[in-house]
Structure 1
Amino acid sequence: MNLQKSIIGMVHVGALAGTPKNNQSVETIIANAVVESKILQQEGVDAIMIENMHDRPYLNRVVGPEIISVMTAVACELRKVISLPLGIQILAGANKEALAVALAAGFDFVRSEGFVFGHLADEGMMNSDAGELLRYRKQIGAGHIRIFTDIKKKHSSHAVSGDISIQEMAKAAEFFLSDGVIVTGNSTGEKASVEDVKVVKEAIKVPVLIGSGIDEQNIQDYWPFADGFIIGSSFKRNGIWENELDKNRVREFIRKVNSFKK
């Protein structure tokens, strides 16, 4: 996957079996993910990522076999019908599980939280896992799957690492062999600081992605400094992540992005 101002569309799969909000069959969850992914592909995104965001409240690092199995089923079905690069994140911080699903389904990348520097997430304390995760990737023969890593992640307290700047954290992620770092705002749908994105881009050589808050109105502010843009909320009806995908919002966003590329 070559990141060159790539737009990565998010598919929030329906709440999975055993989670508090689950009210759909596995078949329905898969079918809905396929429909949204096909729309994203048709409207011109560069890549698609799936995530179990509806599974709130999330478990810390360890998820059950029912989560892994359904995410694998979704991923395998998408790989059959989507020609774009595909990625996956399994919340919260189930990075090894995401990597295993990606390998099984022929996906191209994963999004990893808690890669460097432990932080207090809303699920509890999350220790860093870069060493363990990259060794696991080596062991299972998944070296071709890229790992994009959040730094100073949203929905988290970073008081314990408050004396470490975001650029130093980015440098640490790069040193620990991250394939790209992700900068976010404080929560889902909240935009990142343009200055944070800029200083991170200046500090490292690996790609820089923005993982929250990008919309049609503000993407021009970030365009010069980021290599990839993960878009979730902005593609949904009324800009709310829980709502269904809005084809018109996707179309208008991609139209604006294409004007930049020209």
Structure 2
Amino acid sequence: MTWLKDVIGTEKAIIAMCHILPLPGDPYYDKGKGMDYVVEMTRKDLLALQEGGVDAVMFSNEFSLPYLTDVRTETVAAMARIIGELKKEITVPFGVNVLWDAKKSLDLAAATGAGFVREIFTGVYASDFGIWDTNVGETIRHQHRIGAEQVKLLFNIVPEAAKYMADRDIESISKSTVFNNRPDALCVSGLTAGTETDAQLLQRVKAIVPHTVVLANTGMRLENVEQQLAIADGAVVGTTFKVDGKFENHVDPNRVQAFMDKVKAFRAQWQSEAEVR
């Protein structure tokens, strides 16, 4: 049994992304509609995800494009306001992701009571937004300084729109990340949000770190649920829940329900087979 059961309530968990619209300070923030509109649109997506039956949600500033690796204070403050206003309406476990700043993600988690964060904690990358460096030792010490030790850390080891600067295979990255940093989960991604995670890549990661939670981080759809969950311990799902399966749209509760019905059917069969084994 993994920590997913304790924190989220089930194995083979589906963590649904609740994408927040551009915020104050972001280039595409709608100053005319203001923060009240951002809160209401986040509420709309949150309720649609919960209505559809997801296991958990993760709030992220997905539309703060182009992303920063040193996120400004106003972004974290705005996200804290949104989650604070919606807190009484959140009925499932939740996490946060301040793209792409690990310390700020932990700050937001500590302020809001989030149970987990997803971030790029390790590595040095050539990315769409320049050289992307990290300092995991300082980040974990920051986690302990602010009293966020209980927050689960989901390490994204295949960053979207970036490539490791060192020539390392996924097995060595996974093994050393687990040995050196004790992550709660490894997230394996495709190139961008909505791009399918390669099943062979998932298999290679899970094989080398069998006792660590491995999550499919992008591109899970109705058509590949069984294949991906047969390998991964769970998934982070965003784009497929949107109207017409398009990243920029709002959540469609009917798509969520159809997806989760298939997940629950798979989970029941998987649990039954596990009992036999």
What is the TM-score of this pair, normalised by structure 2?
A: 0.89
In the alignment, which residue of structure 2 is the partner of 1:86?
Answer: 94
In the alignment, which residue of structure 2 is the partner of 1:54?
Answer: 63
Letter paired with 1:169? I
Deviation at 1:79, TM superposition (A): 2.5
In the alignment, which residue of structure 2 is the partner of 1:28?
Answer: 37
In the alignment, the residues of structure 1 paired with residue 252 and residue 47 of structure 2 have an alpha-carbon distance, to the nearest angstrom, of 13
In the alignment, the residues of structure 1 paired with residue 28 and residue 161 of structure 2 have an alpha-carbon distance, to the nearest angstrom, of 20
In the alignment, the residues of structure 1 paired with residue 160 and residue 72 of structure 2 have an alpha-carbon distance, to the nearest angstrom, of 24
In the alignment, the residues of structure 2 paired with residue 174 and residue 85 of structure 1 have an alpha-carbon distance, to the nearest angstrom, of 25
Whether 1:77 and 2:81 are equivalent positions in the alignment is no
72-81 vs 208-217, greater mean Cα deviation: 72-81
In the alignment, the residues of structure 2 paired with residue 64 and residue 6 of structure 1 have an alpha-carbon distance, to the nearest angstrom, of 32
Deviation at 1:77, TM superposition (A): 2.4
In the alignment, which residue of structure 2 is the partner of 1:111?
Answer: 118
**2:199 aligns with one of 187, 194, 201:** 194
**1:139 aligns with one of 118, 142, 145:** 145
What SS does the aligned partner of 1:168 have?
A: helix
Deviation at 1:6, TM superposition (A): 0.5
In the alignment, which residue of structure 1 is the partner of 2:265?
Answer: 259
**2:253 aligns with one of 247, 254, 258:** 247
Letter paired with 2:232? A
74-83 vs 217-226, greater mean Cα deviation: 74-83
Letter paired with 1:248? N
What is the TM-score of this pair, normalised by structure 1?
A: 0.94
209-218 vs 117-126, greater mean Cα deviation: 117-126
Deviation at 1:83, TM superposition (A): 2.4
Asked if the contact 2:225/2:262 (under 8 Å) is kept, the reply is no
In the alignment, the residues of structure 2 paired with residue 106 and residue 16 of structure 1 have an alpha-carbon distance, to the nearest angstrom, of 21
What are structure 2's unaligned runs of at least 5 residues? Answer: 1-6, 269-277
Asked if the contact 2:60/2:96 (under 8 Å) is kept, the reply is yes
**2:243 aligns with one of 237, 241, 253:** 237
Q: Give the total of aligned pairs.
A: 257
In the alignment, which residue of structure 2 is the partner of 1:216?
Answer: 222
Deviation at 1:222, TM superposition (A): 1.0
Deviation at 1:161, TM superposition (A): 2.1
Deviation at 1:203, TM superposition (A): 1.2
Q: CA RMSD in A?
A: 1.3
Give percent identity, aligned residues only: 30
Letter paired with 1:161? A
Letter paired with 1:155? A
In the alignment, the residues of structure 1 paired with residue 233 and residue 85 of structure 2 have an alpha-carbon distance, to the nearest angstrom, of 28
What are structure 1's unaligned runs of at least 5 residues? Answer: none
Whether 1:66 and 2:74 are equivalent positions in the alignment is yes
